[in-house]
Structure 1
Amino acid sequence: MPLIKSVRGFTPEIGENTYMAENATIIGDVIIGRDCSIWFNTVLRGDVNSIRIGDRVNIQDGTVIHTLYQKSVSIIGNDVSIGHNAVIHGAEVKDGALIGMGAIVLDHAVVGEGAIIAAGSVVLSGTQVEPGSIYAGVPAKFVKKVDPEQSKEMNQKIAGNYLMYASWFTSDPRT
């Protein structure tokens, strides 16, 4: 059973058909949409401000989502994939975006719709990542535009795969 903890009068709200690994930690002012998956060792820490997660979002192993007290919130749109060991801190990730493994997205940054943040990149505070673009590096910089349909197709495939993976953990192991 994941650790779901109330703090400061806030209790996490978990959407229908959302899978949470046994050692995921969900704290405080967190609202998670439908058909999401929160994987092993992930921490969604809404103790100092709010975290909002849309529908069909997969937050992969070891990811941390947090905020700044009274200064930033974390907002994750629909159909977003967040790779293993990523950090989202007080940022907004719009619909259909992909955050690569080990990437860090800092306070008040906005990752545009369908954008891709390359693995290991650091998106600095206040950065505005253009929709449908790839950003990479430390600090992350514009690399190129991506075809919006190709990006959407890729992210929907990843999201679909993660729904399938989650079903492996929630179905009867004898079947």
Structure 2
Amino acid sequence: MPIYSLNGVMPQLHPSVWIAPNATVIGDVVIGEGSSVWFGAVLRGDVFPIRIGARTNVQDNAVVHVTNGRAATTIGDDVTIGHSAIIHGCTVGNRCLVGMGSTVLDNAVIEEDVFVAAGSLVPPGARIESGGMAIGRPAKRVRPLNDMDRMEVAGAAALYVQYAQDHRLGLCDVTEQLKQKK
């Protein structure tokens, strides 16, 4: 797993964090307890800080970045950042799910308990209020979260904590073994 310091600033990872072998974490990045960074994801805290809370998962091929001197990225606790999402210089509150392929841009704020549907675009400076479902390009709050939505968000975060534990214990590179069988 490529983890790099940049200009003397080293990522700070809680000992329980799991990072996939081909994920990349660079510079001023802090990741909290029980969180995970999945295959192909990039967290690049090169020109401003990235802060990620506890039990948060950044899924495969997601990109988390910042804007030089203007927009840090803060992601709260119990958050799911879906596959191939782009999180750029923004704030994502606790207990949120940002769906696959969604983009959240500079200085946008997603408050707590928000579900951003797959493929949505949260434009620069937008605010998605707490407790809602947001959909579209640009994303708009379309309704309050119901109990099923809240269970899905909580369940995704909890599931990825378990997946990370499973991968920590069971992931094994078998490339050389497969080459020898040829």
* Structure 2 counterpart of 1:7: 6
* Structure 2 counterpart of 1:26: 25
1:64 touches 1:85 (CA, 8 Å); kept in 2?
yes
Amino acid paired to 1:82: I
Give unpaired runs (5+ residues) of structure 2: 173-182
Alpha-carbon shift at residue 172 of structure 1 (Å): 4.7
Alpha-carbon shift at residue 8 of structure 1 (Å): 2.1
Matches of 1:173 and 1:45, distance apart in 2: 25
Matches of 2:68 and 2:22, distance apart in 1: 25
Greater gyration radius? 2
Q: Is 1:117 aligned with 2:133?
A: no
Moved more, 93-102 or 157-166: 157-166
Alpha-carbon shift at residue 9 of structure 1 (Å): 2.1
Matches of 2:80 and 2:70, distance apart in 1: 25
What SS does structure 2 have at the residue aligned with 1:107? coil
2:23 touches 2:38 (CA, 8 Å); kept in 1?
yes
Query: Aligned residue pairs: how many?
Result: 172
Match of 1:165 among 159, 163, 166: 163
Matches of 1:59 and 1:21, distance apart in 2: 10
Give the TM-score of the pair, scaled to structure 1. 0.94
Alpha-carbon shift at residue 150 of structure 1 (Å): 4.3
Runs of 4+ in 1 over 6 A off after TM superposition: none
**Cα RMSD over matched residues?**
1.4
Amino acid paired to 2:112: E
2:22 touches 2:40 (CA, 8 Å); kept in 1?
yes
Matches of 2:46 and 2:21, distance apart in 1: 20
* Structure 2 counterpart of 1:130: 129
Give deviations 1:146-167, integer Å, cap 9, x for gaps: 13x5444322211111112112
Give unpaired runs (5+ residues) of structure 1: none
Give deviations 1:4-35, integer Å, cap 9, x for gaps: 10112210011121110000100000000000
* Structure 2 counterpart of 1:76: 75
